[in-house]
Structure 1
Amino acid sequence: MTGDASTAAASVERALDALRRGEPILVHDAADREGETDLVYPAGAVTPDAVARMRNDAGGLVCVALGDAVAAAFELPYLQDVLDHPAAADHELGYDDRSSFSLTVNHRDTYTGITDEDRALTITELAAAAADPQGTDFASEFRAPGHVHVLRAAPGLLADREGHTELAVALGEAADLPPAMVVCEMLDDDTGGALSPAAARSYADREGLVYVEGSAVIDRLG
């Protein structure tokens, strides 16, 4: 194994260890894909402070990525497949064949659903549901629309699609976590665009977090 390959593999192992401890990691997909770095948490470890961190330090959408089998058990569709609106008729993407978006939800014990406390509750309850899909009556526990975006991973994960949804769920599964992971894009306050990999690495270094390239995850887990 070359030095670069060894370093990349080690970064994946550090990422898995961090996720097992309930810590966030940073995952960059690829320069020729979205070219974005997401802040990634195990859904079961998300607190109101974690939601605040995603709002303030990342700035993108706070989404919960669910494994395909769990989403199927909860009858959560790909949103573009069920939207009866002309805007959904031609969902062309520059970076992939399809979007992972499913429904937006709130847990039924939330109030507005948007506060840090409410979103943390919805997210952790999604993780609990993902850990026991057969024992969950999804419609009695969650309502839609809501303030947490749900993503549905491709059935074959990284063999089918190499987006943050699949990268995060694959990492969670490799860490023996429920297939429910939170992803939030990191944006640049100065440019309004995606945070560059160099800037994301610097953030990870400052905060003591693991940064991992999607290519390393695919090589290790794909």
Structure 2
Amino acid sequence: MAQRTDDALSRALAAFRAGEPVLVHDFDDREGETDIVYPAGAVGPADVARLRNDAGGLVCVALSDAVSDALDLPFLDDVIDHPTAVDHQLAYDDRSSFSLPVNHRDTFTGITDEDRALTISELSTAAERALAGDYGADDFAAEFRSPGHVNLLRGAPELLADRQGHTELGLALAAAVDRPPAVVVCEMLDDETGEARSPAAARDYARRNDLVYVEGEDVVERLG
């Protein structure tokens, strides 16, 4: 018997609340990708290793619009002064969510599992402090430097009501379980084809690793 989609989402929310990763497929007519999504505050070096070995895409941290405003984080294509940033058109969306790439100042190169885990977990703390109102752009600059090896993403102001990318899907999960508005997203790629891992392959990975797989449409239906 097929599992009810609301059961899958309920299990995804329970996992996220506990600090565990979930697999989220967006939409076949959008990116058509499955991302491994973590609460940023729960990420350690072993989790970064999983992301680079088992997913293989770009490791990013999505921050809510409110946090991004408090930290004065721009959209990257608004601040790049180069012809490549002109007419930055995407086939699947109106604009990119990319903001600055950062390293925590206590890292060395910033790329090791330990360095990226430190940057990611401290981003979660920064997001909490920014929402509390006692942490702004100058405080952020004292702790983080750019360029770096963890790419920041800006969530849409109304999340899923405005945009339905992995940035917003992950942040919606965090909001639903009272996690800080800082989530890690990383695309799952297929080693043989070099393309995005298929939903069937992503579901199989979830089963083999006792993780939850959920469809983006179910997240939008319940949390949008």
Question: Into which bin does the TM-score normalised by the smaller protein fall?
Answer: over 0.9
Offset at residue 13 of structure 1 (A): 1.1
Offset at residue 135 of structure 1 (A): 2.7
Alignment match, 1:65? 62
Alpha-carbon distance in 1 for matches of 2:46, 2:218 = 29
Alpha-carbon distance in 2 for matches of 1:9, 1:99 = 30
Offset at residue 7 of structure 1 (A): 1.3
3-state DSSP class of the match of 2:4? helix
Alignment match, 2:48? 51
Give 4+ residue runs of structure 1 displaced > 4 Å after superposition: none
Deviations 1:87-107 (A, max 9, x none): 001101000000000000000
Percent identity of paired positions between Structure 1 and Structure 2: 68
What pairs up with 1:44-123 in 2 under 5 angstroms? 44-123=41-120
Offset at residue 19 of structure 1 (A): 0.6
Corresponding position: 1:40 with 2:37: yes
Alignment match, 1:183? 185
Corresponding position: 1:205 with 2:204: no
Alpha-carbon distance in 1 for matches of 2:134, 2:17 = 24
3-state DSSP class of the match of 2:66? helix
3-state DSSP class of the match of 1:98? coil
Deviations 1:168-202 (A, max 9, x none): 00111101100000000000000000000000000
Gap runs ≥5 in structure 1: none
Alpha-carbon distance in 1 for matches of 2:147, 2:10 = 37
Alignment match, 2:140? 138
Alignment match, 2:161? 159
3-state DSSP class of the match of 2:87? coil
Alpha-carbon distance in 2 for matches of 1:7, 1:102 = 36
Alignment match, 1:171? 173
How many residue pairs align between the two structures? 219
Deviations 1:61-101 (A, max 9, x none): 00000000001100001111111111001101000000000
Deviations 1:104-124 (A, max 9, x none): 000000011000000000000
Alpha-carbon distance in 2 for matches of 1:214, 1:64 = 18
Gap runs ≥5 in structure 2: none
> What amino acid sits opposite 1:152 in the alignment?
R
TM-score between the two structures when normalised by the length of structure 2:
0.96
3-state DSSP class of the match of 1:168? helix
Alignment match, 2:28? 31
CA RMSD between the two structures: 1.1
Offset at residue 144 of structure 1 (A): 0.3
Deviations 1:104-151 (A, max 9, x none): 000000011000000000000000011111333101010000000000
Alpha-carbon distance in 1 for matches of 2:134, 2:209 = 38
